[in-house]
C-alpha cells in the first residue's frame, strides 16, 4: 500500500521460510494485532514481534517454535521496526509517538523522539550504533546506543 503496510482483516500470520524455499505458517490469529517487525533475540533465545495495530501496540515474545505468545509491553499503537541489543534490551519504533523506545526489565523508555514515520531499524553491533532510516527525507540517522544497557 501507499503507506508501506497492506492489511486485510483476519489474515494476521507469521510465516517461516524453510529449506528449499518451503513456506509454512508459524502462527496466526487476531491476537497478533497486525504483526509487523520481527527479530530474533539471541540473548533470550526467542522471537520478538511488534504489532502495527493502530490502537494497541504490543511487543510480544515467542519461543523458537512460536508455540506460545507472551506480551511484554502494551501501549500506544503502530509499532513497526524492532531490534535487540546484545544484552537483550528490545528497541522498537512507534509511529503513534514518532519515537524509538528501549524496553528492558518491563521498563519502556523513549530514547529518540521526533522521528517522522519511524520504520525498520538496524543495529551495528560492532560499533554499537542504531540506524534509523528517515524515508521521507532520504537519509539514515545513526545513534550511539552503547550506554543503553549499561544505564539499566
**pLDDT beyond 80 at 6:** no
**pLDDT beyond 80 at 143:** yes
pTM: 0.87
Note the pLDDT of residue 135: 79
For 2, the grid coordinates are 501507499
Q: How confident is the model at residue 131 (pLDDT cuts 50, 70, 90)?
A: very high
Residue 129 pairs in a beta bridge with 124, 144
Look at residue 28 and give its three-state secondary structure: strand
Q: What angle do CA 41, 101, 139 make, to 5 degrees?
A: 95
More confident position, 62 or 147? 62
Amino acid at each position: 500500500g501507499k503507506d508501506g503496510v497492506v492489511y486485510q482483516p483476519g489474515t494476521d500470520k507469521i510465516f517461516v521460510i524453510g529449506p528449499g524455499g518451503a513456506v509454512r505458517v508459524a502462527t496466526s490469529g487476531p491476537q497478533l494485532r497486525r504483526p509487523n517487525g520481527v527479530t530474533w533475540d539471541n540473548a533470550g533465545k526467542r522471537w520478538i514481534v511488534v504489532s502495527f495495530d493502530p490502537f494497541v501496540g504490543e511487543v510480544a515474545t515467542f519461543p523458537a517454535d512460536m508455540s506460545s505468545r507472551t506480551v511484554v509491553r502494551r501501549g500506544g499503537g503502530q509499532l513497526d521496526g524492532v531490534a535487540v541489543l546484545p544484552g537483550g534490551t528490545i528497541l522498537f519504533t512507534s509511529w503513534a509517538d514518532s519515537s524509538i523506545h528501549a524496553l528492558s526489565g518491563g521498563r519502556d523508555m523513549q530514547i529518540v523522539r521526533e522521528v517522522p514515520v519511524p520504520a525498520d531499524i538496524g543495529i551495528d553491533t560492532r560499533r554499537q550504533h542504531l540506524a534509523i532510516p528517515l524515508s521521507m527525507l532520504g537519509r539514515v540517522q545513526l545513534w550511539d546506543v552503547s550506554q543503553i544497557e549499561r544505564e539499566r
